[in-house]
Structure 1
Amino acid sequence: MPLKNFRLDERLERDSELVTVLGLCQLRLMKDSRWPWLLLVPQREGISEIFELTPLDQTLLTFETNSVAAALQKATGAKKINVGAIGNIVRQLHVHVIGRSEGDANWPKPVWGYGTAEPYRDGAELQLLNKLIEAL
């Protein structure tokens, strides 16, 4: 369950769907089928940088990021897992975990700002989430 005093940035809420809540983070799936793209959002109010987290929360974030990245690779067979906490536009701390493979949309360039998001169709989202949850 999300913490009572925690509010998700409206852009993150609009552009992603909640998958589950881990120990520290909300695990969210971006609404863009071009890449298997997850977000980890630490449920801490007013935090925009990793170093602003307590040492324990930093450890939890690292553990959850590594667990999700490994599960994403196992679930998708992605050749490369990109992990980044950029936050130039959305200031609320969030970590992107993106599966990349040669030949995907915009390979090898970044996913940000490329083209238009494509929604999941024909149960592909549920299929990905089931594989991901099994891998976790």
Structure 2
Amino acid sequence: MLPGLKAGFSLDARLDADTDPLMWLGLCELRIMNDRRWPWLILVPQRPEAVEIHDLTPLDQAMLTFETNMVAQALKNVTGCTKINTGALGNVVRQLHVHVIARNEGDAGWPGPVWGHGVREPYDRADLHRFAESVKAAL
């Protein structure tokens, strides 16, 4: 079992289908949303039955904040974006997960949200690998 992983945790099937694993942070598994329109990372706290941030213990809440900020700064450094969008909506996938998305004026959907905008455009494997390696190096 991975460090920090709670017995009974399993990744939601939709998150598994739409994202690729990147690395283990501590509390969260960091994943890449497979949509090349935006540099988009997702943190998934490895806690069974967590739906909302307040479902986590205070220590896990602090760790989630730390890991989210660390990922946001790394993504901004890697992409040079002008804005980072961070959100934990959970309207479709109830399992607690935090989106960290690099945005720039003029990107697909600007200035609106990324959710529900157009059709997902998967990365080709080489570009996904390059993006993953750049994020890992920044972290």
Say whether the fold is shared (TM-score over 0.5).
Answer: yes
Q: CA deviation at 1:129?
A: 1.2
Q: Which residue of 2 aligns with 1:93?
A: 96
1:6 corresponds to 2:9: yes
Q: Which residue of 1 aligns with 2:22?
A: 19
Q: CA deviation at 1:122?
A: 6.2
Q: Distance in 2 between matches of 1:122 and 1:15?
A: 14
Bigger shift: 2-11 or 14-23?
A: 2-11
Q: Distance in 1 between matches of 2:133 and 2:49?
A: 32
Q: Which residue of 1 aligns with 2:106?
A: 103
Q: Which residue of 1 aligns with 2:47?
A: 44
Query: RMSD across aligned C-alpha pairs, in angstroms?
Result: 1.2
Matching residue's letter, 1:68: V
Could you list the runs of 4 or more consecutive aligned residues of structure 1 that deviate by over 6 angstroms after TM superposition?
A: none
Q: Distance in 2 between matches of 1:90 and 1:53?
A: 17
Q: Which residue of 2 aligns with 1:67?
A: 70
1:116 corresponds to 2:119: yes
Count of residue pairs the alignment pairs up: 136
Bigger shift: 39-48 or 2-11?
A: 2-11
TM score, norm. by length of structure 2? 0.94
Matching residue's letter, 1:104: D
Q: CA deviation at 1:121?
A: 2.2
Matching residue's letter, 1:49: E
Q: CA deviation at 1:17?
A: 0.6
